[in-house]
Structure 1
Amino acid sequence: MRETAAMEDLQAALKDRNLTVSTVEDKGRCLLATRDFYPGDVIISQESYVCVPNNSSVETRCDGCFATSKLKKCSGCQVVWYCGSTCQREEWKLHRLECEVLSRQEKNKRTSVTPSIRLMVKLYIRRKLQSEKVIPSTATDNYNLVEALVAHMSDINEEQLLLYAQMANLVSLILQWPEINIKEITENFSKFACNAHTICDSELRPLGTGLYPVISIINHSCLPNSVLVFEGRSAVVRAVQHISKGSEVLISYIETAGSTMTRQKPLKEQYLFTCSCPRCVKVGQSDDIRESAILEGYRCKNEKCCGFLIRTNDGKGLQCQECGLVRDMEEIKLIATEVKSLSEDKASKLHTTGNYQEAVAVYKIIEKFQSKLCHPFSISLMQTREKLLKLLMELEHWREALAYCKLTLPVYQRVYPAVHPLLGLQYYTCGKLEWYLGDTEGAVKSLTRAVDILRITHGTNTPFMKELLMKLEEARAEASYQQSSKDK
Structure 2
Amino acid sequence: MMTMNIERFVSKGKGNGLRALREIKAGEAIHSCEPYSFCIAKDFLKTACHSCLKRGESLSRCSQCKTARYCSVQCQKQAWPDHKRECKCLKRLQPRIPTDSVRLLTRIIFKLLSQSESDQEELYSIAEHQSHLADMSEEKKEGLGHLCTTLQVYLGEENGDLSQLPPGLDPISLLARVTCNCFSISDGELQDVGVGLYLSMSLLNHDCQPNCVMISEGKRLTLRAVRLIRPCEEVQYTYFLKRRLSSFLIELLKESQALLHRYTDVVPDRNIYVLRLLDLSMDACISLDDYKTALEYGNRALETYKLYYSDPHPSRAVELLRVGKLQHYMGRLEEAQGSFTQAYDIMKVTHGTDHVLTNEVRRKLSECQAELGQV
Q: TM-score range by the shorter chain?
A: 0.7 to 0.9
Question: Aligned partners of 2:146, 2:102: CA distance in 1, in Å?
Answer: 11
Q: How many residues align?
A: 367
Return the offset for 1:363.
3.7
Matched position secondary structure for 1:93: helix
Give yes or no for the alignment of 1:42 onto 2:29: yes
Aligned residue for 1:145? 125
> Aligned runs of 1:59-70 on 2, under 5 Å?
59-66=46-53, 67-70=55-58
Distance of aligned partners of 1:363 and 1:106 in 2 relative to their CA distance in 1, 3 Å threshold: closer
| Alignment pair present for 1:450 and 2:343 | yes
Work out which of the residue numbers 237, 244, 256 in structure 1 matches 2:230: 244
Task: Give the 3 Å change call, closer, same or farther, for CA 94–227 of structure 1 in structure 2.
Answer: same
Confirm whether residue 416 of structure 1 aligns to residue 340 of structure 2.
no
Gaps of at least 5 residues in structure 1 are 1-12, 257-347, 483-488
Larger relative contact order, structure 1 or 2 (CA cutoff 8 Å, min sep 6): 2
- Write out aligned runs for 1:194-233 (5 A): 194-233=180-219
Which residue of structure 2 aligns with residue 90 of structure 1? 78
Tell which structure's C-alpha radius of gyration is larger.
1
For residue 61 of structure 1, report the CA deviation from its aligned partner: 3.1
Q: Is the 8 A contact 2:113 2:164 kept in 1?
A: no
Which of residues 168, 177, 194 is equivalent to 2:160? 177
Equivalent residues of 1:39, 1:456 under 8 A apart: yes
- Return the offset for 1:393: 2.3
Q: How far apart are 1:230 and its partner, in Å?
A: 0.6
Does the aligned pair in 2 maintain the 1:34–1:245 contact within 8 Å? Answer: yes
For the structure 1 residues 376 and 220, does the alpha-carbon distance in structure 2 shift closer, same or farther, using more than 3 Å as the test?
closer
Alpha-carbon distance in structure 2 between the residues aligned to 1:21 and 1:244: 15
Describe the shift of the 1:168–1:229 C-alpha distance in structure 2 as closer, same or farther (beyond 3 A). same
Post-superposition CA distance 1:91-140 (Å, at most 9, x none): 1122223234555x3545xx233322111111121122224x8xx66513
Match of 2:247 among 324, 347, 352: 352
1:49-448 equivalence runs, <5 A: 49-56=36-43, 59-66=46-53, 67-103=55-91, 105=92, 107=94, 111-131=96-116, 139-140=121-122, 145-172=125-152, 174=155, 175-178=158-161, 179-180=163-164, 184-253=170-239, 255=241, 352-355=247-250, 360=253, 362-448=255-341
Q: Secondary structure at the match of 1:438?
A: coil
Aligned-pair CA distance for 1:36: 1.0
Give 1:192 deviation, angstroms: 1.1
Seen in structure 2, the aligned counterparts of structure 1 residues 417 and 93 have a Cα distance that, compared at 3 Å, is same
Tell me what 1:315 maps to.
none
C-alpha distance in structure 2 between counterparts of 1:401 and 1:60, whole Å:
24
SS in 1 for 2:209: coil
CA contact (8 A) 2:45 2:68 kept: no
1:352-391 Cα offsets, whole Å, 9 max, x none, are: 3243xx6545544432222111135333333333333223
The separation in 2 between residues aligned to 1:458 and 1:372, in whole angstroms, is 38
RMSD: 2.8
Per-residue deviation, 1:73: 3.1
Cα offset, 1:481, TM superposition: 4.5
When residues 367 and 428 of structure 1 are mapped into structure 2, their CA distance, relative to the original with a 3 A threshold, is same
- Does the 8 A contact of 1:73 with 1:79 survive in 2? yes
Partner of 1:273: none
How far the C-alpha of 1:402 sits from its partner, in A, is: 2.3
User: Retained in 1: the 8 A contact 2:211–2:229?
Assistant: yes
Find the aligned partners of 2:87 and 2:276 in 1 and give their Cα distance. 42
CA drift of 1:187 comes to: 0.9
Contact 1:385 1:407 in 2 (8 A): yes
Partner of 1:295: none
Identity over the aligned pairs, expressed in percent?
A: 26
Query: Could you tell me whether the CA contact under 8 Å between 1:371 and 1:381 is conserved in 2?
Result: no
Closer, same or farther: CA 254–478 of 1 in aligned 2, 3 Å: closer
Asked if the contact 2:240–2:315 (Cα under 8 Å) also holds between the matched residues in 1, the reply is no
Cα offset for 1:47?
A: 0.4
Distance 1:413 1:477 in 2: 29
8 Å contact from structure 2 (residues 36, 119) kept in 1: no
The SS at the match of 2:305 is helix
The normalised TM-score by structure 2 is 0.88
Compared CA separation, residues 385 and 165, structure 1 to 2 (3 A): closer
Q: Which residue identity does 1:391 align to in structure 2?
A: A
Q: Unaligned regions of 5+ residues in structure 2, if any?
A: none
Q: Which amino acid aligns with 1:405?
A: G
Q: Using a 3 Å threshold, how does the CA distance of structure 1 residues 57 and 137 change in structure 2: closer, same or farther?
A: closer
